[in-house]
């Protein structure tokens, strides 16, 4: 009798383990179609050829994208990664962490000179605040405490773009090439908004990462857009805050 009971229990356990394995290996389809690897294999849109002799005029400008504007919210959301969608700053930080991108220190000339590691970036935005607190019960003694403020990706609400505009006489077109990007944190200090640029990344280097990073399309979920296409098609609102001139402002 004991052998029969033991055999039944063993058979039941084997069935349960098998069903668990089936749940993990064979998940149900969630949506009209299953996610494919085409996005991961996408390449950046090729630049048109350019000759120095054809450039009649050029100008470098710096512009800024505010993620809080409705048209730009695709850069900010989702706050938590969902399926194949990540926010812009999460994509950049993940690429820096994996060594796919190189970050450069902020300089007065906005040149890409001093490389920064992922850990250096996080450490810069992690602060220790030493405070003297008072206990809430008698004898109300004072004690020292340390409050840690960690890096918050959700505070990245702007993006600076360094780009070159030029007129190509062969095509008779005004064209643009983005050269570098700089995420900017927005902090509150004494009730005022304070901007804190984090680092620069080379846009040509980042295009491969952006080409395989999907952006949420609120108008058509079947039409997938990449961040490379967003920048290529200029699907963002921005304003120029600086241009190349003798005053450097």
Q: How far is Cα 190 from Cα 200, in angstroms, rounded to an integer? A: 27
Per-residue confidence (pLDDT) for residue 141, from 0 to 100: 80
Q: In terms of Cα–Cα distance, which of 147, 93, 156, 79 is closest to 121?
A: 93
Contact (Cβ atoms closer than 8 angstroms) between residue 40 and residue 212: yes
CB distance 170 to 51 below 8 Å: yes
Domain ranges for the chain: 39-44+54-125+152-243
Structure confidence at residue 133 (pLDDT): 77
What is the three-state SS of 59-114?
Answer: EEEEEEEECCCHHHHHHHCCCCCECCECCHHHHHHHHHHCCCCCEECCCCCCCCCC
Q: Is this model's pTM higher than 0.85 or not?
A: no
pLDDT in tens, the chain (249 residues): 555 555 555 555 555 544 444 444 556 666 665 555 566 678 999 999 999 999 999 999 999 999 999 999 999 999 998 877 899 999 999 999 999 999 999 987 789 999 999 999 999 887 666 667 788 888 878 777 777 678 899 999 999 999 999 999 999 999 999 999 999 999 887 778 889 999 999 999 999 999 999 998 777 877 889 999 999 999 999 999 999 888 877
| Helix axes of 88-97 and 203-211: crossing angle, nearest 10 degrees | 110
């Amino acid at each position: 009798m004991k052998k029969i009971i033991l055999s039944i229990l063993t058979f039941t356990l084997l069935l349960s383990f098998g069903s668990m394995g089936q749940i993990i290996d064979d998940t149900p389809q969630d949506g009209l179609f299953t996610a494919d690897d085409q996005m991961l294999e996408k390449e950046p849109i090729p630049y048109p050829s350019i000759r120095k002799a054809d450039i009649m005029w050029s100008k470098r400008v710096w512009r800024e994208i505010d993620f809080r504007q409705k048209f730009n919210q695709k850069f900010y959301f989702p706050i938590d990664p969902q399926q194949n969608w990540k926010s812009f700053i999460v994509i950049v930080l993940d690429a820096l962490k994996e060594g796919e991108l190189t970050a450069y220190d902020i300089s007065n000339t906005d040149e890409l000179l001093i490389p920064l590691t992922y850990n250096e970036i996080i450490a810069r935005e992690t602060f220790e605040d030493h405070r003297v607190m008072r206990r809430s019960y008698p004898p109300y003694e004072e004690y020292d405490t340390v409050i840690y403020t960690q890096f918050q990706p959700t505070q990245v609400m702007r993006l600076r773009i360094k780009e070159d505009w030029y007129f190509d006489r062969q095509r008779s077109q005004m064209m643009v090439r983005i050269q570098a990007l700089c995420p900017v944190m927005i902090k509150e200090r004494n009730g005022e908004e304070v901007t804190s640029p984090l680092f620069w990344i080379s846009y040509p280097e980042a295009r491969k990462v952006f080409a395989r990073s999907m952006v949420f399309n609120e108008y058509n979920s079947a039409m997938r857009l990449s961040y490379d296409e967003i920048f290529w098609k200029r699907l963002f609102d921005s304003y120029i805050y600086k241009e190349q001139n003798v005053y450097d402002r």
